[in-house]
Amino acid sequence: GEYELVEASAGLRPGTPDNAPLLGLTADPRLIAATGHYRQGILLTPITGDAIAELLVTGEAPAEIAAFDPLRFAQTGQRHQPEEVTS
């Protein structure tokens, strides 16, 4: 006989071309990345949280996450300066 499909799920694990996460400010300084851990996400949660918390509090990324700068894949490597929005 045949079985009825009751549930389907996908466990997405975002990764990067160099297998290292994206941690820190993106090209838009209003957006902070903490993604791309692939299968190491659960293991790296504490250190990622500490690093991003330091970035949020001090405005500076800790030296330990410099190698994981999201701009390492950018063509220009420059941060975008958003236009000021007035209402």
pLDDT category at 65 given cuts 50, 70, 90 is: very high
For residue 1, the model assigns a pLDDT of 79
For residue 75, the model assigns a pLDDT of 72
**Is 4 within 8 Å of 50 (Cβ atoms)?**
no
CA distance 68 to 21: 6
Helix, strand, or coil here: 13? coil
For residue 38, the model assigns a pLDDT of 92
Number of alpha helices (DSSP H) and beta strands (DSSP E) in the chain: 1, 2
Query: What's the whole-model pTM score?
Result: 0.74
Domain definitions of the chain by residue range: 22-73
Lowest mean per-residue pLDDT among 20-24, 44-48, 81-85: 81-85
The secondary structure element, H or E, covering residue 42 is: helix 41-58
pLDDT, tens only, 7-41: 888 878 899 999 999 999 998 889 999 999 999 98
